[in-house]
Structure 1
Amino acid sequence: MLDSATTQVIAPVAPPPRSRRRARGARALISGLLALLLAGTALVAIETLVRPLPAPTVTRTLAASTIIPGKVPAVPWPESGQAALSVEGVGSLGRSGGSKPVPIASVTKVMTAYVILTEHPLDRGEQGPKLTVSAEQAAAYPAEQARGESLVPVVTGAVFTERQALQAVLLPSANNMARILAAWDAGSIEAFVAKMNDTAAALGMTNTHYTDPSGYDPGTVSTAVDQVILARKAMKLPAFAEIVAQKKATLPVAGTVRNYNSLVGRDGVVGIKTGSTDEAGGCLVFAAVVKVGGRKMTIVGAVLGQPGANTPVQLDRVFRATRPLLRAAAAAIAVHRVVRAGDQVATVRGPLRTGTTISAAQDLTVVGWPGMPVRLDVDIPAVPAQLPAGAEHGRISAVAGNGARVVTPLRTGVRLDPPSTWDRIRQYL
Structure 2
Amino acid sequence: MSDDREFDPEWNEVESAKRRRRRRVGVVVTAIILVALLASVGGYTGWALSAPLPAPEVASQEPAAPSPAAAAVALPGEGAWAITITGGDDYLGSGASGIWAASGTDEPRSIASISKLVTALVVLDAYPLSDMNDPGPTLTFDKADHDLYDKYYVMGATIAAMPIGSTMSLRDALATMLIPSASNYAEAVSTWAFGSQGAFIGATRRWLDAHGLGGTTIVEPTGISPRNTSTPADLLAIGRLAAAHPVIASISATRSLALPGPGGMVNTNDLLGTGGITGLKTGNLGPGTYNLLYTASVDLSASQRLSVTGVMLGGASRESVNAGVVALLGSIRDGFHDVPLVTRGQELGSYSTPWGGSARMVAARDASIFTWSDTPITVEMTTTTPTDYRDGEVVGSLTWTAGPNTATVPIEIEGTIAPPTDWWRLTHPEALRGP
| TM-score interval for Structure 1 and Structure 2 normalised by the shorter chain | 0.5 to 0.7
Shift of 1:187: 1.3
Work out the CA distance in 2 between the residues paired with 1:223 and 1:285.
Answer: 12
Work out the CA distance in 2 between the residues paired with 1:184 and 1:138.
Answer: 13
1:112 aligns with 2:119: yes
TM-score under structure 1 length normalisation = 0.59
Q: Which residue of 1 aligns with 2:101?
A: 94
Q: Which residue of 2 aligns with 1:200?
A: 208
The 5 A counterparts of 1:276-425 are 276-278=284-286, 281-293=289-301, 294-307=303-316, 314-332=317-335
CA contact (8 A) 1:82 1:223 kept: no
Sequence identity percentage: 28
Work out the CA distance in 1 between the residues paired with 2:174 and 2:86.
Answer: 24
Q: Which of 134, 156, 159 is equivalent to 2:164?
A: 156
Q: Which of 245, 265, 271 is equivalent to 1:263?
A: 271
CA contact (8 A) 1:103 1:280 kept: no
- Residues 70 and 186 (structure 1 numbering): CA distance in 2 closer, same or farther, change over 3 Å? farther
1:76 aligns with 2:84: no
Q: Which residue of 2 aligns with 1:85?
A: 83
Work out the CA distance in 2 between the residues paired with 1:188 and 1:280.
Answer: 33
Secondary structure at 1:109 match in 2: helix
Shift of 1:72: 5.6
Shift of 1:191: 1.7
Work out the CA distance in 2 between the residues paired with 1:131 and 1:335.
Answer: 54
Unaligned 5+ segments in structure 2 are: 1-66, 340-368, 377-402, 407-435
1:243 aligns with 2:251: yes
The 5 A counterparts of 1:16-35 are none
TM-score under structure 2 length normalisation = 0.58
Q: Which amino acid aligns with 1:207?
A: G
Q: How many residues align?
A: 278
1:178 aligns with 2:186: yes
CA contact (8 A) 2:132 2:171 kept: no
Secondary structure at 2:332 match in 1: helix
Work out the CA distance in 2 between the residues paired with 1:291 and 1:264.
Answer: 15
Work out the CA distance in 1 between the residues paired with 2:110 and 2:287.
Answer: 6
Q: Which residue of 2 aligns with 1:133?
A: 141
Work out the CA distance in 1 between the residues paired with 2:196 and 2:152.
Answer: 18
Larger Rg: 2
- Residues 207 and 156 (structure 1 numbering): CA distance in 2 closer, same or farther, change over 3 Å? same
Q: Which amino acid aligns with 1:306?
A: G
Q: Which residue of 1 aligns with 2:357?
A: none
Work out the CA distance in 1 between the residues paired with 2:235 and 2:338.
Answer: 27
Work out the CA distance in 1 between the residues paired with 2:225 and 2:266.
Answer: 24
Work out the CA distance in 1 between the residues paired with 2:373 and 2:239.
Answer: 22
CA contact (8 A) 2:274 2:326 kept: no
Deviations 1:96-139 (A, max 9, x none): 11111110100111111112223222213322211111211212
Deviations 1:172-207 (A, max 9, x none): 001111111111111112221222232223323232
Q: Pick which of 186-195 and 324-333 moved more.
A: 324-333
Secondary structure at 1:284 match in 2: strand
Work out the CA distance in 2 between the residues paired with 1:129 and 1:367.
Answer: 49
Q: Which of 237, 251, 262 is equivalent to 1:254?
A: 262
Higher helix share: 2
Work out the CA distance in 1 between the residues paired with 2:336 and 2:169.
Answer: 40
Shift of 1:70: 6.0
Q: Which amino acid aligns with 2:298?
A: V
Shift of 1:366: 11
Work out the CA distance in 2 between the residues paired with 1:170 and 1:335.
Answer: 40
Secondary structure at 2:284 match in 1: strand
Shift of 1:268: 1.2
Work out the CA distance in 1 between the residues paired with 2:107 and 2:199.
Answer: 26
Work out the CA distance in 2 between the residues paired with 1:369 and 1:163.
Answer: 43
CA contact (8 A) 1:299 1:329 kept: no
Shift of 1:325: 1.6
Work out the CA distance in 1 between the residues paired with 2:70 and 2:205.
Answer: 37
Q: Which amino acid aligns with 2:109?
A: V
Q: Which amino acid aligns with 2:304?
A: R
Shift of 1:229: 1.0
